[in-house]
């Protein structure tokens, strides 16, 4: 049986929400394998002098857990 785990991460970008999502996946991939999806829960932006300067996301990243033999 396959099982997924979900982690929640925050990421930001100077260029776009899409880039922030990609950065979240790239960073998560450094410590987990088998990423299957990213769900963008929230998007916010920081504004300075009437310009968007930071794109921020709160994302849930799902990844497939390795099969583990049953104990016992």
Instruction: State the average pLDDT over residues 2-17.
Output: 96
Query: Residue 53: its pLDDT value, please?
Result: 97
Q: What is the pLDDT of residues 16-71, one digit of tens each?
A: 999 999 999 999 999 999 999 999 999 999 999 999 999 999 999 999 998 765 56
| Cα 17 to chain centroid, rounded | 12
The domain defined by 4-64 folds into: Dodecin subunit-like (3.30.1660)
What is the rounded CA–CA span in Å between residue 63 and residue 48?
36
Query: Residue 17: its pLDDT value, please?
Result: 98
Is the pLDDT assigned to residue 14 strictly greater than 60? Answer: yes
Is the pLDDT assigned to residue 72 strictly greater than 70? Answer: no
Query: Where along the chain do its domains lie?
Result: 4-64
């Amino acid at each position: 049986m396959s099982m997924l785990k979900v982690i929640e991460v925050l990421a930001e970008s100077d260029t776009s929400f899409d880039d922030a999502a990609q950065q979240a996946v790239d960073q998560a991939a450094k410590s987990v394998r088998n990423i299957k999806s990213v769900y963008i829960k929230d998007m916010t932006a920081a504004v300075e002098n009437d310009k968007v300067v930071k794109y921020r996301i709160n994302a849930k990243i799902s990844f497939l857990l390795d099969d583990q033999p049953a104990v016992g």
